Amino acid sequence: MSLFLEVVPVSEAVEVVRRIAPPPGCEDAALEDALYRVLARDVSADIDIPGFDRSTVDGYAVAAADTTGASEAIPAMLQCLGRIGMGSADAGSISPGSCRYVPTGGALPRGANAVVMIEHAELIGDDVLVHRPVAPGENVVFRGEDFRAGAVVLERGRVLSPRDIGVAAAVGADRVSVVTPPVIGIISTGNELVPATGVPGPGEVRDANSYLAGAFVAERGCRPVYFGIVRDEREALKNAVSSALDRCDAVLVSGGSSKDERDNTAAVIADLGEVLVHGIAIAPGKPTIIGTARGKPVIGLPGHPASAFVVLVAIVDHLLAAMRTTAVSRRTLRARLTQNVPSTRGREDYIRVRVRDGEAVPVFGKSGLLNTLVQSEGLVRIPATSEGLEVGEEVEVILW
């Protein structure tokens, strides 16, 4: 292997991870457990929603024509035939010149096509004085107006939000077919690493990447499985990756991916399968490795947590989205840069920024610093074609 990495553009790396993403399984889930799950099949309305003409207000169900010309001065007078109970199976009927009281959500009686709000009517004995005309359809949702029986309500690939969950309940989808969460193996390599539970000795640091990567994949609806810390020894790493491949749909290995003697990750992937990318034109994150083994993606992340996180956002996010057959969901906002940021043409630079009142303040700091991760709120991407961004320029911030 050569000393310097042969880097590929970010766009190519993204294409590669999308291509190698294994197709997901699917399973049934109870609707109350389906928040943020990805729909594997469309959800359709089983029946017309609503199933009957329905009032959207408390008021009097009328034939709209009976209210033509009604005003405060000259109200229309209708005979009230009674009240319709909520959920009652038969809302009865009205004939011209009559009406029935209907509560919000109640069914309209036959012969009615509008509802006069209670605020615009007055009940006197058995008669109702209507002070305002209503148009046909006013204050009414007609049968099937919300969803027609058979209509697709939520499309496959959609990540279910609380609103979607409510709507699915309304159309009778108390169970939904959803994508099985991909299981992602997490391995950290490095002779300098001790677990978060330990106290590092001289030359040692705690393993942050396992937690960082695990929480990142969990946030994207995947299930992390932790395989702990492996020493930078080829056999040990090979055994760990092999175990992870047994149990997982993809494997993330962090550390061990700088281009020097410690570079076991690429060798292990090559042993078990194939290295597709070794080096991406991205800063930070250049020494990233993309490969496959036993038909499953194996990604080598940089050892520095801050660099690893940029690669998770810029590359791995696309892999996980493809494995869930959904789109990458990014929260972004536009803000103005508070200072010039130089960049190198030919690579995508990701700078960390704080966002304040519409301004993006670059958080500079040595690449090995963790504190930039908690002091920043997002990333600004500088395209490979650019030599930098100028103060005052409007940029898109990928919130993380």
Question: Scanning residues 258 to 317, which ones bind a second copy (CB under 8 A)?
Answer: 258-262, 303-305, 309
Q: Which one of residues 1, 65, 86, 328 is an interface residue with a second copy (CB under 8 A)? A: 86
What are residue 117's DSSP bridge partners? 59
* Binding of residue 195 to a second copy (CB under 8 A): yes
Task: Give yes or no for a contact between 187 and 252, defined as CB atoms under 8 angstroms apart.
Answer: yes
Of 25 and 51, which has the nearer Cβ to a second copy? 51
What are residue 140's DSSP bridge partners? 55
Of 73 and 196, which has the nearer Cβ to a second copy? 196
Q: Which one of residues 58, 127, 271, 393 is an interface residue with a second copy (CB under 8 A)? A: 58
Q: Work out the burial of residue 36: count CB atoms within 10 Å of its CB; fewer than 13 is exposed, 13-18 middle, 19 or more buried.
A: middle
CB of 84 to a second copy, least distance (A): 8
Task: Give yes or no for a contact between 167 and 77, defined as CB atoms under 8 angstroms apart.
Answer: no
Q: Is there a cis peptide before residue 287, judged by omega within 30 degrees of 0?
A: no
CA distances for 231 relative to 78, 194, 228, 234, 338, angstroms: 87, 10, 10, 8, 43
Pairing status of strand 296-301 against strand 378-382: unpaired
Pick the stretch among 18-26, 214-222, 275-283, 380-388 that binds a second copy (CB under 8 A).
214-222
CB of 75 to a second copy, least distance (A): 18
Of 55 and 292, which has the nearer Cβ to a second copy? 55
Calpha distance 52→71 (Å, rounded): 30
CB of 188 to a second copy, least distance (A): 10
Site string for a second copy, 221-260 (x = CB under 8 A): ---x-x-----x-------------------------xxx
Calpha distance 87→76 (Å, rounded): 29
CB of 343 to a second copy, least distance (A): 19
* Binding of residue 185 to a second copy (CB under 8 A): no
Q: Which one of residues 12, 42, 127, 192 is an interface residue with a second copy (CB under 8 A)? A: 192
Calpha distance 38→161 (Å, rounded): 10
**Diameter of the chain measured on Cα atoms:** 96
* Binding of residue 177 to a second copy (CB under 8 A): no
CB of 344 to a second copy, least distance (A): 14
Binding to a second copy (CB under 8 A) within 121-150 occurs at 140-141, 145-147
Measured in whole angstroms, the distance separating CA 16 from the mean position of its chain's CA atoms is 22
CB of 25 to a second copy, least distance (A): 23
